[in-house]
Structure 1
Amino acid sequence: MKEDECLLIVKKMPGIHDGRFGYEGVNLVTKEKCNCKSPISDLWWSIYKEHIELGDTIIKKKGELIFSIHKKDTVLSFNFECEGKVYK
């Protein structure tokens, strides 16, 4: 999970019944079209789907276990949790 990275400005939302993390948009750094699909982390990231809207920026930096959603006026940050233990 630490190996994954997602730097995405959300332009397309996944389907309502999509249990995976199917967001698409523009890479924050390269400005190229991208998605943040990961066979390792997308189930963890999908826990926060209810907080993500079009135009939000999703940031998960490589080497970190913090998943952030940047909105126009707020930043939501979530630490990775497993079996009751919080990892930072």
Structure 2
Amino acid sequence: MKLLPYLSIFFIFNSCMSCKSYTEIISQEKCSIVVEIPPTKYPDLFKTKGYDPVTKKSKFCESDNRWWNLYKKEINIGDTIIKEKKKLTFSIHKKDTIITHEWKCYED
């Protein structure tokens, strides 16, 4: 019951965020990982474990936004996901194909 006021504030803040400011937040995110544990295995909005394709070091990629979450069912073990900073695309590299999702924000 103590969470209700905080959740209300969160939803009010989120609903007031402009398209431009949300796009800026999206553009600052980055991730480059070869997936070992797909994001559907975690209860978080979006979290995946794997390794950096360049350094081969183990790492996590996670995001609290809903954009990456839309595509987590498309991501399997062995896929490489890439979200570059200042870019508005999220790519899933599979063995024989690349799926690229472009960010679009629609202002009312």
Normalising by structure 2, report the TM-score. Answer: 0.67
- Name whichever of 28-37 and 2-11 sits farther off: 28-37
Q: Which amino acid is the alignment partner of residue 7 of structure 1?
A: S
CA-to-aligned-CA distance 1:24-68 (integer Å, 9 cap, x gap): 1001222111111134xx421110011111100001111101000
- How far did residue 3 of structure 1 move? 1.2
Task: Please state if 1:70 is matched with 2:93.
Answer: yes
1:37 to 41, 49, 62: 62
Q: 2:81 aligns with which of 58, 61, 70?
A: 58
Count of equivalent residues: 82
Among 25, 28, 41, the alignment partner of 1:3 is 28
Identical columns (%): 39
Q: Give the distance between the partners of 2:37 and 2:58, measured in 1 at CA.
A: 11
Any stretches of 5+ residues in structure 2 without a counterpart?
A: 1-25
Higher strand share goes to which structure? 1
Report the RMSD for the aligned CA atoms in angstroms. 1.9
Q: Which runs of 5+ in 1 are unaligned?
A: none
1:14 deviates by 3.4
